[in-house]
Amino acid sequence: MNDDAYDPAAARREIANRDRRRALESHSHRLTMATVGILAYSTFAYVMTGIGTLTHGLLIPTIIFAVIGALYVFALYRTWAADDRRIWIIAVPATITILLALTDFVMGARPSPVPLILNVALLVLIPLRARAAAQLQVLKRPADQPPAEAVVVGEAES
């Protein structure tokens, strides 16, 4: 049989840590999906705008929209496929879009507020995702690493 003594307090701590980890994983996943959704919307918008300007024969705006669309495609791919949390991947296209919208507004045009709001939301989601990932990493670390005695004993034997 099992000679280890059952420790109810340790079992409760284990369950609480597992629940906390699951809640943080769920929170991180929701933040990632919100980011992916906004990036997908922006990617689609820039690709369709680029196609629209191409059909009107406007070369320079088509190139600008194609470059920004490519940046959004790259950000979408790195966020979705690689779960990349580097700041610049999302911040570069979002900042360019915000600056373009503000430039349009200053020049007298009345651009839609949707790109501005969505890209500000993207910039807000960056630190939220990083903080959730850091909290999750702290929670996962103790279970993944062996105790200090095991590391010392293992090094002494080799």
Dihedral over Cα of 91, 137, 38, 74: its sign:
positive
Q: Is 80 in contact with 36 (CB distance < 8 Å)? A: yes
Residue 158 has pLDDT above 70, yes or no: no
Weakest mean pLDDT among 81-90, 103-112, 135-144: 135-144
Q: What is the pLDDT of residue 15?
A: 86
CA 143 and chain centroid, separation? 25
Q: What number is the average pLDDT over the span 112-135?
A: 91
Q: Is 33 in contact with 132 (CB distance < 8 Å)? A: no
Q: What is the pLDDT of residue 136?
A: 85
| Nearest alpha carbon to residue 70 among 91, 54, 50 | 50
Phi, psi of 2 (to 5 degrees): -90, 120
Q: What number is the average pLDDT over the span 10-26?
A: 87
| Nearest alpha carbon to residue 145 among 132, 154, 157 | 154
Confidence of residue 138 (pLDDT cuts 50, 70, 90): confident
Confidence of residue 135 (pLDDT cuts 50, 70, 90): confident
All structural domains of the chain with their residue ranges: 19-134
Residue 55 has pLDDT above 70, yes or no: yes
Cα 107 to Cα 58, 59, 102, 113, 149: the distances in Å are 20, 21, 9, 15, 67
Q: What is the DSSP letter of 83?
A: -
State pLDDT tens for residues 56-98.
988 998 999 999 999 999 999 998 888 788 888 899 999 999 9
**Residue 38, SS3?**
helix
